[in-house]
Structure 1
Amino acid sequence: MNRELHVKVAVCIVYVLAMFMSALDSTIVNVALPAIGGAFHVPPAAMGTINIGYLISLVMFLPVAGWMGDRFGTKRIFLLALSIFTLASALCGLSQNMNMLNLFRIFQGVGAGFITPVGMAILFRTFTHEERPKLSRMLIVPIALAPALGPVIGGFLVDMLSWRWIFYLNIPIGLFALCIGKVYLAEHVEPEAGKFDYKGFILSLTGFFLSVYALAQAALKGGASPGILMSGLVGLCLLALLIIVELYVEKPMIDLRLFKDNMFRTMSLIGLCSAAGLLGMLYAFPLMYQNVLHMSALHTGLTTFLEAVGLMVASQLMPWTLQRLGLQRLLVYSLMGAITVFILITLFVASNPWLLRLFMFGVGFFLGQTVGAAQISAFKYIKPASMARATTLFQMENRLGSVLGVAILASILGTQNTPAGEPVQLLTYQYALFGAAIFLVVACLIAFRLKDSTDHGLRLKMDRAERAE
């Protein structure tokens, strides 16, 4: 019994450390982008590639992770993912130019893509169904704190030490998690893992890479050369072929048939657009705040920190607001609130810092309601047998939304075609922030068309009447 307790505690520690490290990395980099750009003498539009390469590799290996864990063992794959992420973090810190940093960020994304699904599988196999609700309440706090603390920690490290330390920070955390995992994690291999969908994997990897590469290069060079246009065209053709192939594969890596469910399709699109708007804004804002308004990295981190606090508050209130307002009204109201705050940030970005922090809190609060409601409602009609594939597809769409937001806002910044070393004008950044708001407008229009929840109150009354009978 004592051994079993130690194993459960160790699994929790390893899972929290791995998720904390991965979640921290999603926000800590943004405040360091101006410092990295200055060190490598690259324009702001080129800085998006640091996040794009990471997010693309993370997205592409999410669906592969579950199969590899079942086929080769969850402990082996999880420890390998931790090792890749930790080693890639060290190499990122040692990078001597932008190309090296982008390459090692891609490797970092590969490790992160395996950590979440395989770590969750280990956690669920260790704890019973009855233990999981209490476990979830315990683990949510440290994992939710990571993205909130990322901008502050990143700003402090950049100002006090160097941008390289935002990557070196992962080394002791990763090594500690590896040591505990090596001793306490149990191996599990699934006898019937099935065949690997190599066609879907190759088509998705190359298609998304070429498409986003073309978008990023067009932003960097301020226009589209024949080579960039060809890359984008080939990428789109491969993605079209991916859709055809995955619809006919018996057990596809990316199960596109799930989009036949209207609720899942609608919530996925809202989640994608919300992620694009939020991550795009969090990419452009630190660059503008430091390069144009000449604020320190720590000051920038303290300002964007309030967005994550707003997300945490929204996560606690969302079940109550969903019950009171119903799904459609909650989505419409929260998205309209987020659009308003985005516009206010765009117009008053040079105003009092505390006013901006209030706006940032509003961004997190309103989008937290949107994303939380979309996540809960997306799987309402998904069958249990399809749940794993549905959650993977939903996570992929959210990450792809992040890539899309960063890439398009980088393209807007690239329209000024600023030489390295010369600042992008404030007005161009404001155009970029307004572009982030456009994603939320699209999400709001989709929410307006949602029909499933228009009879929310009527359905509740019918359910109560059926129970009474």
Structure 2
Amino acid sequence: MSEQVFSAVAAPAQKSNFRTVALIIASAMFMEQLDATVLATALPTMARDFGVTAAHMSVALTSYLLSLAVFIPASGKIADRFGAKNVFRIAIAIFTLGSILCGQAPSLGFLVFARFLQGLGGAMMMPVGRLVLLRSVARSDMISAMSWLLVPALIGPIIGPPVGGLIVSYLDWRWIFYINVPIGVLGITLVSIFIGDIREEKPGRFDFLGLVLSGVSLGSLLFGFEMGSRDGGGPDIAILIGVGLVSGILYVLHARRHPEPILDLSLMRIRTFNLSVIGGSLTRITQGAHPFLLPLMMQIGFGRSAAESGLITFATAMGSMSMKAMAPIILRRMGFRISLVVNGVIASLCYAVCAAFRPDWPSSVIFAVLLVSGFFMSFQFTAYNTVAYDEIPASRISSATSFYTTFQQLMLSFGICVAATALHLSTLVNDHPRPVPSDFSAAFLTVTAISLLATYWNLKFPRNAGADISGHKQQKKSRTATRRQAEAIASNAEDTVD
């Protein structure tokens, strides 16, 4: 990647506090990830308060997904025009305001509106937060900063269900949204103090037609994937996915003619970005399925309580946190290509071990497996999310973050759909009235097989991919120079002896 991305645009004062910048952005993302998973636990209680069935409450989830699908592609262009710091700060404020309105919602219709507003803030927080990091952190600190940034994305979905269960059991469901308020206020304050105002000098023309077409396509696909994770709705799912595909084709035709499309498909011509998107997408299907399958298996398949399930599955989050200090060392030693190939296989096989879980397994053994799984999978995403920007020029960094985040969200949602479909098919084939451990095993093995496919694309990475970021090339040169120096000394010694 051009040195401008990590060095020229980063103020000297910010190079020394990359952990602060990364944790500020991570806190905002944690708030969003936690909110998304906590809500699912509270839906039955909320439905009772609103006087509707639990099935009707799905609109509270899909309205948020729709907002994400519409506005994520526009986030990079908006950040270029108004400044990444300003947009990120406003995004946190909008998400916090939406949380307050959700907590005050007197009806389902009002909640849907408030969730859509939350989604608008969330759509800006994800890609713009990453853009702030890329433009605020020195190149040499990027791997460590990205490691800190990815922790909340893995922790939120894991601890969300038990936190939601505790709130619903001992407090009012409205506190699910109120807990975002202090985090949001703190985030706005810290952004104002620690993050510099960096923006694109000449923002391009805004692509309104592309925004509509991409929004309809991604929104329909996300709705279809989300509905696919539940029983029923077959015709509706087919219609939504059909509309999404048609709109997507129309968008591709439009993007080829537009000079600055809202989702720049030409970015896929950049080799490291292309491989990171494809390999990362396949792996994220597994990651999206994991927090969906584990709690269900623990509670439905093993008969454990929500609290017990939450304490065990939290091991994945602990594993991901332990990874952040190791990632720079491993990548400096092995480089991105070898790390992605070897670690990708290990991470997938660790998730495959989850298929062998049974009710009589000791909790300590399950905890250990999930701890190791979290470590390796978190490392994989740290590597993908860093090397993706290796060859992206500074002028296209905002477009790249929007594009990358859009596919990330899409694949995580698709992972839930694949896992739910595999689970449902296994119960039908085996004629089980409800899922049993063997059905969950089939689902885990299905998503594991998908993530293993990423190995093919990982092998396509150049051997020197991201070498300037990881320091792998410099380390190799240093070892070579040392060896040559030793050989010269030995040669001189031989001459002296002669």
Check whether TM > 0.5.
Answer: yes
- Please give the alpha-carbon distance, in whole angstroms, between the structure 2 residues aligned to 1:145 and 1:374: 16
Residue type at the aligned position of 2:400: A
How far off its partner does 1:405 sit?
0.8
- Please give the alpha-carbon distance, in whole angstroms, between the structure 1 residues aligned to 2:386 and 2:14: 31
1:353 and 2:360 aligned: no
Q: Does the Cα contact within 8 Å between 1:154 and 1:297 map onto a contact in 2?
A: no
The alpha-carbon distance between structure 1 residues 163 and 267, as it changes in their structure 2 partners (threshold 3 A), is same
Residue type at the aligned position of 2:76: G
Gaps of 5+ in 1: 1-5
The alpha-carbon distance between structure 1 residues 345 and 136, as it changes in their structure 2 partners (threshold 3 A), is closer
Aligned to 1:246: 255
Secondary structure, counterpart of 1:220 in structure 2: coil
Q: Between Structure 1 and Structure 2, how many residues are aligned?
A: 457
- Please give the alpha-carbon distance, in whole angstroms, between the structure 1 residues aligned to 2:371 and 2:282: 19
Computed over aligned residues only, the root mean square deviation of the Cα atoms, in angstroms, reads 4.6
How far off its partner does 1:96 sit?
7.4
Which residue among 55, 65, 68 is the counterpart of 1:58?
Answer: 68
How far off its partner does 1:293 sit?
3.1
**TM-score of the aligned structures, taking structure 1 as reference length:** 0.78
Secondary structure, counterpart of 1:316 in structure 2: coil
Which residue among 444, 447, 450 is the counterpart of 1:439?
Answer: 450
How far off its partner does 1:353 sit?
1.9
The alpha-carbon distance between structure 1 residues 431 and 103, as it changes in their structure 2 partners (threshold 3 A), is farther
The alpha-carbon distance between structure 1 residues 108 and 406, as it changes in their structure 2 partners (threshold 3 A), is farther
Q: Deviations over 1:380-402 (max 9, x none)?
A: 33333333322332222222211
1:306 and 2:315 aligned: yes
Q: Deviations over 1:224-254 (max 9, x none)?
A: 22x4423321210111121222122111221
The alpha-carbon distance between structure 1 residues 106 and 346, as it changes in their structure 2 partners (threshold 3 A), is farther
Identity %: 25
Residue type at the aligned position of 1:254: L
1:25 and 2:32 aligned: yes
Aligned to 2:43: 36
How far off its partner does 1:256 sit?
0.9
Residue type at the aligned position of 2:124: F
Residue type at the aligned position of 1:446: W
Aligned to 2:293: 284
How far off its partner does 1:68 sit?
2.4
Aligned to 2:271: 262
Q: Does the Cα contact within 8 Å between 1:68 and 1:77 map onto a contact in 2?
A: yes
Q: Does the Cα contact within 8 Å between 2:60 and 2:112 map onto a contact in 1?
A: yes
Which residue among 119, 142, 155 is the counterpart of 1:148?
Answer: 155
- Please give the alpha-carbon distance, in whole angstroms, between the structure 1 residues aligned to 2:47 and 2:191: 37
Which residue among 80, 86, 92 is the counterpart of 1:82?
Answer: 92
Which residue among 396, 402, 407 is the counterpart of 1:397?
Answer: 407
Q: Which of 1 and 2 has greater Rg?
A: 2
- Please give the alpha-carbon distance, in whole angstroms, between the structure 2 residues aligned to 1:94 and 1:308: 31
Aligned to 1:3: none
The alpha-carbon distance between structure 1 residues 211 and 183, as it changes in their structure 2 partners (threshold 3 A), is closer
Q: Does the Cα contact within 8 Å between 1:21 and 1:170 map onto a contact in 2?
A: no
Gaps of 5+ in 2: 1-12, 485-498
The alpha-carbon distance between structure 1 residues 108 and 430, as it changes in their structure 2 partners (threshold 3 A), is farther
Q: Does the Cα contact within 8 Å between 1:32 and 1:297 map onto a contact in 2?
A: no
- Please give the alpha-carbon distance, in whole angstroms, between the structure 2 residues aligned to 1:182 and 1:459: 36
Residue type at the aligned position of 2:350: V
Residue type at the aligned position of 2:37: N
Residue type at the aligned position of 2:443: A
- Please give the alpha-carbon distance, in whole angstroms, between the structure 1 residues aligned to 2:79 and 2:274: 28
The alpha-carbon distance between structure 1 residues 464 and 45, as it changes in their structure 2 partners (threshold 3 A), is farther
The alpha-carbon distance between structure 1 residues 408 and 54, as it changes in their structure 2 partners (threshold 3 A), is farther
Which residue among 330, 337, 341 is the counterpart of 2:350?
Answer: 341
- Please give the alpha-carbon distance, in whole angstroms, between the structure 2 residues aligned to 1:321 and 1:14: 23
The alpha-carbon distance between structure 1 residues 182 and 49, as it changes in their structure 2 partners (threshold 3 A), is same
Residue type at the aligned position of 1:384: A
Residue type at the aligned position of 1:347: A
Aligned to 2:77: 67
**Which deviates further from its counterpart, 207-216 or 288-297?**
288-297
Q: Does the Cα contact within 8 Å between 2:146 and 2:385 map onto a contact in 1?
A: no
How far off its partner does 1:210 sit?
1.5
Q: Does the Cα contact within 8 Å between 1:247 and 1:255 map onto a contact in 2?
A: no
